[in-house]
Amino acid sequence: MRIVKLKGKKASLTNKGELSLLFVGVGSAFTKRQYQTNLLIIKGDTNLLVDCGTRCPHALYELGLSVTDIDNLVITHSHADHVGGLEEVALMNRYVAGKKTSIIITKEYQDMLWKNSLVGGCSFNERKDNKFLKFEDFWDVIRPEKLKDYPRETFEARIGSLDIKLFRTKHIPDNSTDWKDSVTSYGIIIDDKVMFTSDTRFDEELVLSFEKMFNLRSIFHDCQFFTGGVHASFEELNQLPADIKKKIYLVHYGDNWEKFEKTIENYGFMGLGKQSQYYIFN
């Protein structure tokens, strides 16, 4: 893996075909300094935005992009730092660009996302034959297939040469015992080589089982600088085996990261994931 810094340049949504990850932000839900942890994946002519939080449209703008430039989306769960910018994507595409964005989404999560988060701002803008707009009026749905013989519920979808596996995570509520006991939330594996957990509490079995299955090249893991609540702390993650910590970049962190950066390196992690740079995997 190599890292290429953007250095104030605009982001490109195409490349020569290598798998490339660009975090449009690396902050947690309410941070003010580094946007929110939403991830842009680029491979050849394919682009995929993983989550679109409240601050994502502005983060994209800073990279020289509009929400209407994005061709494909996948959403990991319904907190506003992951879905708060979706109404803008939907309305800008329907009423300005005149197109739909593709979205990788399970039926279960589509119903949850539409009814609990998007209906209010999207559905009631038009009425035909006494019916308001529905999810499919805004999005081209790519339905991922459920995979057999996985350590936990996992789905797969392909876009061009890009392979995305969606696995369930243990994020909310704060006292759920495992992924099965949690409200639906997902992390992803990209091309069987990179894991992005999105939001999860500390879940050793998640990391160990997929590491065993894929011998991952890098893991971008949710992190907070204190223990408790609905995220994994760097102290909890420090319990992972040393050879796995060497693969882990921590993301979704607070504005006070400078205080912890040295300790995180001393613990044996790769370090903090950064925005405005490409992580490139050949």
Distance of CA 75 to the CA centre of its chain: 7
**Residues ≥6 apart with Cβ < 8 Å to 227:** 233, 235, 236
> Which residue, 135 or 253, has its beta carbon nearer to Zn ion?
253
Fill in the amino acid letter for 176. Answer: S
Residue with tokens 């015992």: 177
Q: Whose CA is closest to 124, among 155, 156, 90?
A: 90
Cα gap 1→205, rounded to integer Å: 25
> Which residue, 29 or 240, has its beta carbon nearer to Zn ion?
29
Cα gap 119→135, rounded to integer Å: 8
> Which residue, 46 or 169, has its beta carbon nearer to Zn ion?
169
Nearest approach in angstroms of CB 50 to Zn ion is 12
Nearest approach in angstroms of CB 220 to Zn ion is 13
> Where do runs of H (alpha helix) occur along the chain?
56-62, 80-83, 86-92, 107-113, 119-122, 135-138, 204-214, 234-237, 242-245, 261-266
Nearest approach in angstroms of CB 226 to Zn ion is 15
> Which residue, 75 or 248, has its beta carbon nearer to Zn ion?
75
Nearest approach in angstroms of CB 56 to Zn ion is 12
The residues that touch Zn ion, with contacts defined as CB under 5 A, are 29, 79, 81, 199
Nearest approach in angstroms of CB 171 to Zn ion is 6
> Which residue, 81 or 88, has its beta carbon nearer to Zn ion?
81
